[in-house]
Structure 1
Amino acid sequence: MTRLMGKLLGMTGLLTVAAVDKATAQRASQALPQPFSRVRQLPRLLRIPQTNLVDALRTFSRQTGRSVGFAPKLVRNKLGTALDGRFDPDLGLARLLTGTGLTFRAIDGGYVLAAASADRPVPIVARALVAHNDTVDIVIVGTRLDQGEATEVKRRSLQSVSGLSDADIRKVADTSLADVLRRVPGVQSSVRAAGALITVRGLSQTEYRLNGRNLTSTLFRGFDIAALPSDIVSSIDVYKTPSASQIEGGIGGVVDFHTRRPFDAATPEATATVKGVYGDLDGRVRPYVSGHVSGRWTTSAGEIGLLIGASHQSQDVAGDIFRIDTNALRPIETGQSVDAPVDAIKRYLRGTKTLDAVYASAQWRPATTFEITGDVLYNRSTLDFTTTSLLASLVDGVASGPFDLHPDTMAVRSGRWTAVPLESSTTYGQGYFETRQYGLSGRYERGPLSLLVNVANTATRFRYRAPTATLGASAPQLDYGIDRDLPRFTVSGIDPTRTDTWRLAAYSEFDVGDNNRETNVRLDGVHAFDGTIKALKFGGRFARRNVDRNSDLTMADVSGGTVTMAGDTFTGTGLDRLFTSAYPQAQWIAPTRQALAVERLGTLRSVFGLKSGAPAFDPESGFRARETITNAYVEATFGMAAGGMPIDGNAGLRYAATHLSIGSPPMASGAIRDFDRSYDHWLPSINLRVELDRRLYLRLAWSRQITRPSFTLLSPTVILDFVNAVGDAGNPRLDALRASQYDAALEWYSANGGNVYAAAFYKQVQGFIRTQAAAEQIDGRSFLISRPVNVDSGWIGGVELGFTQALRFMPGLLAGLGLQASYTRIGSFTQDNGAGFRVPLEQMSRHNHMVGVTYDRAGVSAGVTWIWRSRIVELSRGDALGRPLFRNPYGQLDATFTVPVTARISLTASALNVLQRRTQEYFQDRRFINQTFDESRRFFVGASVGLGKRR
């Protein structure tokens, strides 16, 4: 039952409807009238037009956070009285019912309606309930955050929260949750090819929940949400300020995804969507199929609901790439030195990413005070791709010149090399990321007390294998240059498309396997009060997580000869277009994808002198970890008036104790690498909301929050290069990042559903992690080991502006228009990256904006969205010289259009990355190119069928 929890948690939204059992209705109808003694309640702004009573009651419930129960026949063909002003909930409902012949009784923080008794005129707020009909159902109108209009969710929440409703998600052209999430104000996304990195207000330390349950990846704190299809969720909420009752872990923010559940729909429903997805770089059409079916039934055992859904979609993973790993000073024949690329690489990326998901939810409500919900999710993201590269090792060639330099520098813009070694390679990557989550929750309400028990088990698995075959050649002459910001090189003296130009050079095979298992048990309680303290929340949580990593890298060199695999040749010329049709020398001989297929790797390994069987994982490169987290919290929800202004909010304290045990197999020398440590944190928080005027709110928040390091950083393994006496390692002694957070926001809500807001945020963070190199003794020898360490304390802050408005007041067809816009400006401290460069935080863009125009009328839905980010700090140390890596400003235009064919069938067309804007990454400044990348455009065409009616 939802009548208390939505209000007490301060997270209310769209109305839900649920049946109440007859026994409760009969008890309510038999209650004797009591003297009218009403506890003072804070006035609420109620704006309800004159409309049918059911819709009026739904609006009343949403605006007050109170549930309303009634028999359907009572409200049939009745109109509610219009309200426009500030009322306490009791008197507002009384006025709403004027002239309907109905009265109500307050029960457990909500209301139950009944026909007014004509022969006993007691005060309306205290009239006894009279049973209308013992055999009819009674409907409860309640509230839930996860089904709300995004603007209403934002207004009703006691925390700073932004989100997307089910309708918002269906109106965009995106396929994965990573694509969808970047449309939320304050959220930035670096989406490329097969993955994504999400930041909230400039911080990548963001955590994810699924229906409020922790959602973890294999070795990371967050989750690769690019692996989840968007059609499995019904709403998204992004919490930018925490509360004590929420699971700790994200100093950037917390993103909660809500899947569909059977009680979300008033009647049985079924949907199905079929689309074809065309990627313009590889010219292929791939399938997109999704759907779900749900029903709810009233039985002698109570109300039961069941929902089952599935999704299958394939999308192209494609890009045209030019890459330079770093620059170095090179002497030239004139005796001078130039700052030139050490290599230049042309590359095709082509492949397919497949997202498969099956999800189910069952709900049982045996009584109005008790509800059980079970959720199951299985998701598998499969990646199958090839990269075909042509590498010119300029550092091993002769810088013969001539050279054209950037003005006033020694940086090369174009030039000529001779005797340049070439490498043509193909990598065939295959892998999958698999997620299983089982969740069971139970909710019990007795009077003012509500209890919620939640148990969840999450298991994730990542497997990836990438064999690479390399050919070698030498170019007598190579010319490099940049034309209209597009780098290129051409070779002379050889024909790169002839097989006899090339010889066998090298083979490598990389394998990795990660596993994660997490069990959570959580108990939450809420006790409602009358007075300033509205509710007291309390609870605890126990979580145990086990992770392990295994990997192996096999390498071999060979020279001379050609190879013919069974049934086809070992090599081919590949594609004939890179970036543009006029791009020079876009073809070259390279190993084929077929030659690197799993069933043929045995033969290929033998050719390079390796064992034909698949290599085993290297025991010294793996590790395992167990983490146990224990939580307890207490939180008070309060409401008062000061200076005639209502003030409400929550304040609480959360305790988090962490125990980490991490280790790996002994090294060859017998050295033990096991670590064990414990630490704890006290995390206070307070969120205030002040109602300055009828539609104007001021929010203030302060909190302390932590983010624990990822297991990749905590790894106890050490990878050594014995030739150069250097190595890379993790650091199991890393501390959690700790942040003190300050937020303020001013929000205005228009009478017709619009919203304008301005927010400011500031975070003081201790323990930022940076890589440092230091000499260490390993097996009696000195190595320069690079490890992550907690070294920096700093700040991040900024402002966020947002605007949303549906133009329903416009005449005629223009009433379907809607506007959305947001802007976030972020600043941070700068830090020395260890190479003499001061850089801000990684993945931060100073300026970020989104502009969208939507249309929704008479079943026709359309939208155009433009998302833009200024320069991004990709890595604080991007190359061997320690120079920071930046990505240039980047924008993306998406569009979608849906038109109904019948009442149940609609056709849809959409496009992503319409302008196919080119991204470029560079070291320090634009003179030093690292990578130029063109990503595929995607076009969707399909149809949807829907049966049933959602609330």
Structure 2
Amino acid sequence: MRKTTRALVSVSLLPLVAGFVIAEAAAAPAQQTAAQTDASEPQPADSVEEIVITGTIRRSLEAAAEIKRESPRVVDSIVAEEIGKFPDPTTAAALQRVPGVQVTVGANNEITGVVIRGLGDILTTLDGREFFSTTDRSFSFQDLPAEALARVDVIKSQTADIIEGGIAGVTDLQLNKPFKFNDPAIVVTVRGNYATNVDKLNPQLGLLVTDRWDTGVGEIGALLNVSWSHTDYNRPYLYAPVRRSTAIAPFNLPGFASQNVAGGLNEYGWYERPQANAALQWQATPELEVYVDGLYAGYRAKQQSAFVEAQLFNAGTTISNVVANDNCFRARVNPAGFNPTPQQINPQPTETNPNPVPMFELQHLCEIDSATYGNTTSFVSTQARDQQTDNYLIGGGFIFERGPGRVKFDLAYQESTFTNNVVIVDIGKRLAQVQVQSNVDLNAQYEFVGNPLNDPTDFRLRNGLNQNFNRQEGSLFQARMDSEFDVGGFIPKLQFGLRFADRSAVSNQALVNRAAPGGDSVTLLSSLDLPADFLVEVPGIPRLNGGAPRLSPNPDYLRSAAGRDRLRAIYGVALGDPAFQPERRFDAKERTFAGYIQANYEFELGGPVVLDGTVGVRPTLTDRQIAGAGVISNVVTPVVAKTSDVDVLPNASARLQLGGGLQVRATYSKAIRRPGFGALNPGLNYIVATNPNVQNSGSAGNPDLRPQKSESFDATVEYYWRTGFVAVAGYYRDITDRVISSPTLEEIDGIGYNITRPRNVGQATLKGVEVSGQAFFDFLPGALSGFGVSGNFTYADSEVGGGDSLAGLPLQGVSKYNFNAGLIYEKFGLSGRVIYTHRSRYFDQETTGLNLVRPVSDEQLATDATPVNLNYVRPGGRLDFGLGYELNKNLRVDVGGTNILGNKYRSYFDPTGFTRDIRFDDTIYTVGIRARI
């Protein structure tokens, strides 16, 4: 019977501790492609197979360099040197180490927002099968614990045999399979993660059991892998949002731009991630393998946003001790002190008003640096969430290999659901004095004198009761057949295949707002029949009252059935959870048919010079229907949109080996990215805010969105020597029909709403350079010879073209500079890693539709144009470390830390330069033990 010995491929960068490697590698023409790679598949004799290496990190890194050297297609990989040795808790956290990959930090302090070379349009596959989150095209990487993974491949350019759908690239997540192990194995991992923001130690557990047996009907292997983690978290924010002219009431003080509110919030709570995957493999004959496998990945969370604000422009508020800075500008200002709407700038004639007058004036404003505000209103708000995600996938198939031919047939079915039930209650009181500093070390700082919001007296109901209940569901049936034949001569291999995918998605929502009984700030909280613990202390926010705690509605009460119904009775809405609303539903169905043919070629040109590569093409047909609804003037109108797309995606690559460790390569490919179902939803929904300081808002899809398309060109020069390599890669992406979403102030039935819609922005380009390398210092004496270095640098120059309002600006979310720099040590059973990851500034939101005052030029005045406004994130970096020691071949301990320098998210409005917010990312220290039985 077949015994497979597979070695885990390494990479050019190891993130935290031994046993975790990043490499830039790719499948050689004779190899299995990454999208087809499955641990259940027999590999050609000349391929590099995955095996569990029990040796050093260095061996893994050197193996990766050799794979990179022999590969015509670039793939950056993260690989566990051995089971249980991924040091990062999630896939997203691990991916931040890959060359060209940039990440952001989510509200719950997890690494999210993965982008490849500045683009987030990534197709995710699981063992070569398409894998997604509910109604989205992508998978939320943080939903899969890294302990479930054997390897992750980041594929940066398409080849014909890879599933289409990622103009940024394809990320293939690979699970462990039983035939990867020669011997029975039980691997237990236990880790404690200490988060400094919450001052708690949280558990992370994993167990893998596997074995294989020779039987009378062939060799059979079985594997079970389960993991679970619990995380308590707290991520404080401080914000200084929209600026507004003080020339209006209540101040009537011309010449200044003041922030509208002074506030912040805490995103805090807990979440758990249960995960299980299992696999069976049966080598029925030497030619035939049959397999079946499945995955469950879940997410459970009880979390909340606890807002606190002093509202600076309400009636009765005073201002004093005003100090302005030198950020002065000319702005349009409407009667409310905001940037005017397009209708106010250029009003259209009507029968009753044939000669309308623009509703704004030009003012010269200077930003207020600091001021004291008296008798302000305030509110504290609890947004209590109960969230659950469930991802299920089951698949199976067979692999048949005889002589020069090989066929793989695979079937899989996935279901993904997400529920998010949110209840929001606001309360508030008057504050005697609020001291505001808008710009202290590029961030705001506030003092609510006396901390009155930690005193339960005189709280009143504010704004309203908000209920927001969501459920999203997605499913996918997919079938594919991949074949390859050894031809011989200058075409060593010919590949072709077919794929069918049947996808559906449903999104439901109930959104109910009801204003406070008796009016805003009228009903005393103490007059209501509420439990004594309705108010609880929530964590403080740095730079707000020195981090002192405050009171807010109890999130656990808001999540309880009894608590919700008591509040519903107070606010006069129906008891029980609200029914989903037909105007907030969409239902999508999509079928895709694809095929491909691809040839590998090779020419010996004399001496060490060899030319090889691939040429292929992938035609696709997609039929789609999305049913939604819109509400105009309280009338629900069903809308159905149908589309059909045909695309032909060619690819070609060439590698020229020049001898002496030097080689060059070039690739070309065309890729597409279909719009997400939510973006295509033809419906429109909106709601009137019960908070007078919050702009009414809504959202709408765009059924006319076209798929994004990208033509990609890559070229590399690589040089290898015995103890390392250096590689320089240039890339160029010509992207058409790029999709971006932004809010625009629209008037519906005489009321203004910020309606967020996606749109195609025409043409965009992305070009840049990647430099990566690694080296080990064998020439140093004694213990010093255990040192090594690894790192990478990415330059990304992007620009939006065409006639869009963003023309000439960089692509959303793209940092121009990104680098990783790491110092490695491995000797005498000790392994360590220190890595610094940095990205330069980027804009993460277009805020043109927001009503903040902003500079206006003579040209914009002449054309009635609204100046573009962006939210920029300042440069930042994270320092991580890991240190591990092998007590023996079966027992290992390690310690580590992430973001140990306490990097923070800091953003500002541009072109005004107004500070917007600061988010206090957590520092996490970890200690773990891994035992193999």
TM range (shorter): 0.7 to 0.9
Pairing partner for 1:479 from 412, 415, 435: 435
**What's the offset of the Cα at 1:572?**
2.9
Once the two structures are superposed, residues 359-416 of structure 1 have per-residue CA deviations (whole angstroms, 9 ceiling, x without a partner) of 1111111222211222210000222212222112223364623322222521122112
Structure 2 counterpart SS, 1:716: coil
Partners of 1:493 and 1:422 lie apart in 2 by 14
Structure 2 counterpart SS, 1:692: strand
Q: Which runs of 5+ in 1 are unaligned?
A: 7-11, 17-61, 68-106, 112-140
Residue 652 in 1 paired to residue 616 in 2?
yes
After TM superposition, the structure 1 = structure 2 runs for residues 437-456 of structure 1, keeping only pairs within 5 Å, are 437-456=393-412
**What's the offset of the Cα at 1:774?**
8.9
Partners of 2:506 and 2:28 lie apart in 1 by 48
Structure 2 counterpart SS, 1:917: coil
Please say if residues 833 and 839 of structure 1, whose CA atoms lie closer than 8 Å, have aligned partners that are also in contact. Answer: no
Q: Which has the higher contact order (CA 8 A, sep 6+)?
A: 2
Distance 1:476 1:498, change over 3 A: same
Residue 182 in 1 paired to residue 96 in 2?
yes
1:41 corresponding residue in structure 2: none
Please say if residues 86 and 147 of structure 2, whose CA atoms lie closer than 8 Å, have aligned partners that are also in contact. Answer: no
Structure 2 counterpart SS, 1:569: helix
Once the two structures are superposed, residues 887-929 of structure 1 have per-residue CA deviations (whole angstroms, 9 ceiling, x without a partner) of 1111111111222333322222111111112221111168412
**What's the offset of the Cα at 1:833?**
9.9
Residue 680 in 1 paired to residue 663 in 2?
no
**What's the offset of the Cα at 1:727?**
5.3
Partners of 2:144 and 2:533 lie apart in 1 by 38
Pairing partner for 1:507 from 440, 456, 465: 465
Residue 915 in 1 paired to residue 915 in 2?
no
Once the two structures are superposed, residues 613-642 of structure 1 have per-residue CA deviations (whole angstroms, 9 ceiling, x without a partner) of 111111210101001110011000111123
Q: CA RMSD in A?
A: 3.2
1:235 corresponding residue in structure 2: 151
**What's the offset of the Cα at 1:339?**
1.7
Partners of 1:780 and 1:554 lie apart in 2 by 21
Structure 2 counterpart SS, 1:165: strand
Please say if residues 411 and 927 of structure 1, whose CA atoms lie closer than 8 Å, have aligned partners that are also in contact. Answer: no
1:342 corresponding residue in structure 2: 260
Pairing partner for 2:326 from 401, 404, 407: 407
Give the residue type in structure 1 aligned to 2:428: G
Please say if residues 431 and 462 of structure 1, whose CA atoms lie closer than 8 Å, have aligned partners that are also in contact. Answer: yes
Pairing partner for 1:743 from 696, 709, 714: 714
Distance 1:620 1:13, change over 3 A: same
Partners of 2:187 and 2:895 lie apart in 1 by 18
1:375 corresponding residue in structure 2: 293
Distance 1:324 1:486, change over 3 A: closer
Give the residue type in structure 2 aligned to 1:381: Y
Q: Which has the greater radius of gyration?
A: 1
2:485 corresponding residue in structure 1: 527
1:213 corresponding residue in structure 2: 129
Give the residue type in structure 1 aligned to 2:738: F
Query: What TM-score does the superposition give when structure 1 sets the normalisation length?
Result: 0.81
2:336 corresponding residue in structure 1: none
Please say if residues 159 and 242 of structure 1, whose CA atoms lie closer than 8 Å, have aligned partners that are also in contact. Answer: no
**What's the offset of the Cα at 1:585?**
6.7
Distance 1:917 1:666, change over 3 A: closer
**What's the offset of the Cα at 1:343?**
1.5
Indicate the larger mover: 837-846 or 230-239: 837-846
**What's the offset of the Cα at 1:773?**
8.2
Partners of 1:64 and 1:572 lie apart in 2 by 63
Please say if residues 150 and 162 of structure 1, whose CA atoms lie closer than 8 Å, have aligned partners that are also in contact. Answer: no
Residue 612 in 1 paired to residue 575 in 2?
yes
Percent identity, aligned pairs only?
24
After TM superposition, the structure 1 = structure 2 runs for residues 67-78 of structure 1, keeping only pairs within 5 Å, are none
2:271 corresponding residue in structure 1: 353
Distance 1:172 1:632, change over 3 A: closer
Partners of 2:605 and 2:141 lie apart in 1 by 43
Distance 1:779 1:330, change over 3 A: closer
**What's the offset of the Cα at 1:726?**
8.0
**What's the offset of the Cα at 1:337?**
2.5
Structure 1 counterpart SS, 2:582: strand
Pairing partner for 1:820 from 782, 785, 790: 790
Partners of 1:476 and 1:774 lie apart in 2 by 36
Indicate the larger mover: 656-665 or 152-161: 152-161
Please say if residues 629 and 682 of structure 2, whose CA atoms lie closer than 8 Å, have aligned partners that are also in contact. Answer: no
1:546 corresponding residue in structure 2: 504
Once the two structures are superposed, residues 55-94 of structure 1 have per-residue CA deviations (whole angstroms, 9 ceiling, x without a partner) of xxxxxxx999699xxxxxxxxxxxxxxxxxxxxxxxxxxx
Residue 701 in 1 paired to residue 667 in 2?
yes
Residue 258 in 1 paired to residue 244 in 2?
no
Partners of 1:811 and 1:351 lie apart in 2 by 51
Please say if residues 743 and 847 of structure 2, whose CA atoms lie closer than 8 Å, have aligned partners that are also in contact. Answer: no
Pairing partner for 2:65 from 134, 141, 151: 151
Pairing partner for 1:865 from 819, 822, 835: 835
Partners of 1:145 and 1:686 lie apart in 2 by 30
Distance 1:787 1:941, change over 3 A: closer
Residue 849 in 1 paired to residue 819 in 2?
yes
**What's the offset of the Cα at 1:783?**
9.2
Residue 586 in 1 paired to residue 556 in 2?
no
Residue 597 in 1 paired to residue 559 in 2?
yes
Partners of 1:691 and 1:613 lie apart in 2 by 70
Give the residue type in structure 2 aligned to 1:741: S
Indicate the larger mover: 657-666 or 676-685: 657-666
Partners of 2:803 and 2:257 lie apart in 1 by 21
Give the residue type in structure 2 aligned to 1:640: F
Pairing partner for 1:286 from 186, 202, 226: 202
Partners of 1:530 and 1:260 lie apart in 2 by 33
Please say if residues 171 and 863 of structure 1, whose CA atoms lie closer than 8 Å, have aligned partners that are also in contact. Answer: no
**What's the offset of the Cα at 1:305?**
0.8
Residue 469 in 1 paired to residue 464 in 2?
no
1:120 corresponding residue in structure 2: none
**What's the offset of the Cα at 1:722?**
7.5
Give the residue type in structure 2 aligned to 1:615: P
Partners of 2:687 and 2:153 lie apart in 1 by 46
Structure 1 counterpart SS, 2:565: helix
Give the residue type in structure 2 aligned to 1:812: G
Please say if residues 246 and 252 of structure 2, whose CA atoms lie closer than 8 Å, have aligned partners that are also in contact. Answer: no
Once the two structures are superposed, residues 235-264 of structure 1 have per-residue CA deviations (whole angstroms, 9 ceiling, x without a partner) of 111111211111111111111111111111
Distance 1:402 1:666, change over 3 A: closer
2:414 corresponding residue in structure 1: 458
**What's the offset of the Cα at 1:566?**
6.6
**What's the offset of the Cα at 1:789?**
2.3
Partners of 2:830 and 2:375 lie apart in 1 by 63
Structure 2 counterpart SS, 1:367: coil
**What's the offset of the Cα at 1:725?**
9.9
Please say if residues 422 and 469 of structure 2, whose CA atoms lie closer than 8 Å, have aligned partners that are also in contact. Answer: yes
Q: Which runs of 5+ in 2 are unaligned?
A: 11-26, 33-41, 54-59, 329-365, 517-521, 690-694, 853-867
Once the two structures are superposed, residues 512-558 of structure 1 have per-residue CA deviations (whole angstroms, 9 ceiling, x without a partner) of 11000001100011011110011110001000100010012222222
Please say if residues 179 and 191 of structure 1, whose CA atoms lie closer than 8 Å, have aligned partners that are also in contact. Answer: no
2:350 corresponding residue in structure 1: none
Indicate the larger mover: 494-503 or 430-439: 494-503
Please say if residues 835 and 883 of structure 1, whose CA atoms lie closer than 8 Å, have aligned partners that are also in contact. Answer: no
**What's the offset of the Cα at 1:309?**
0.7
Partners of 1:925 and 1:755 lie apart in 2 by 43
Partners of 1:348 and 1:15 lie apart in 2 by 42
Residue 906 in 1 paired to residue 889 in 2?
no
Pairing partner for 2:165 from 245, 249, 254: 249
Give the residue type in structure 1 aligned to 2:473: N
Paired positions, count: 825
Distance 1:334 1:615, change over 3 A: closer
Partners of 2:65 and 2:917 lie apart in 1 by 40
Query: What TM-score does the superposition give when structure 2 sets the normalisation length?
Result: 0.83
Structure 2 counterpart SS, 1:815: helix
Partners of 1:109 and 1:494 lie apart in 2 by 70
